Each structure stands twice: as C-alpha cells, then as structure tokens.
Amino acid sequence: MDARLNYYGNSVAAKFAKYINSAGKVVGDSTLPAATQELVKIRASQINGCGFCTDMHTKDATHAGETSVRLNLIAAWREAKVFTEAERAALELTEQGTRIADAACGVTDEAWANAAKHYDEDQLAALVSLIALINAYNRMNMIIQQPAGDYQPGQFG
C-alpha cells in the first residue's frame, strides 16, 4: 500500500509539515510529562483509526521506557489500574476533545475541571495544543492513507 501523496516530497505539504512539527516541538518542550504526551497521542490516534500515528507513538513510548502493560491498556484506561489520576484526566480530556462532534456539549466542564486539578495553566495549554495537534496529524495521515508499520523510533529527528 502506498500513500496517496508523498507528504514530504511535495513542496506545499513539506512546508506545512515543517510548521506543524514546530508546533509539536513547543508542546514536547513543555512541562507536560512526556509519558502523558505519548498516552494522549496514542489514545487520539486509536480513536481516529490512524494506524501510522498509533504505530509511531507506541514505538516511541516503548523506546522511552513505557511498559507494554500500560500501552496495551490505553484503549481500556477507565478499567485499568495502571494510570495515575492525572493521566486519567488527560485521557478523558483527549477523548472528549477528539470526539468533539459526537457530543452536543463538546468538552464537559467536569472533564476540564478534573484536568485543571492535575495540571497547571502551562501544562493545560500544552495538553489542549497536543490534543489539537495529534488530531490534525491523524487527519492528514488518514486522508492520504499513510501506511503503518514501518516507523522506527527517532525516524523524524
């Protein structure tokens, strides 16, 4: 299977990717815990059915020392005992922010308040930005049908 578009081989797409990757660096350099960042990216990618991003972020998380137990339970985080309360709050915000069209109210005040109990304002800004960013990446990869499975940790720098 080949992607419909070589995203890095097209000048317009490559320029866009450069800027969106810069936005990702801002979030990556924030004080939002790296493990939480990977959990958010994986959960949004699972919901959106983005194989490329799910492959990338599970491999990156594994490479960074995340356990297979936690990775295997991300989709069932509500029933799993392996996530902290802060991670649960981030995962709930991720789900509601990703499924925003599925609920008439968007993200609930309860989900926001729960996240705000665990993260300071800069971390919340990073979390919201990350949710928006991974959803953008998911949509780009889904539209062009980017194949999954060949990603190697660190491949993009």
Each residue's pLDDT tens digit, 19-52:
999 999 999 999 999 999 999 999 999 999 999 9
pTM of this structure: 0.94
- The predicted pLDDT at position 155 comes to 80
Sign, Cα dihedral of 112, 114, 117, 123? negative
Own/partner long-range contacts of 89-92 (Cβ < 8 Å, ≥24 apart): 89/114, 89/115, 89/117, 89/118, 89/119, 90/36, 90/39, 90/40, 90/115, 90/118, 90/119, 90/127, 91/39, 91/40, 91/43
Sign, Cα dihedral of 6, 8, 14, 20? positive
What is the distance between the alpha carbons of residues 128 and 133, in angstroms, rounded to a whole number? 9
Average pLDDT of span 144-149: 92
**Angle at alpha carbon of residue 148, lines to 53 and 49, rounded to 5°:** 55
- The predicted pLDDT at position 112 comes to 97
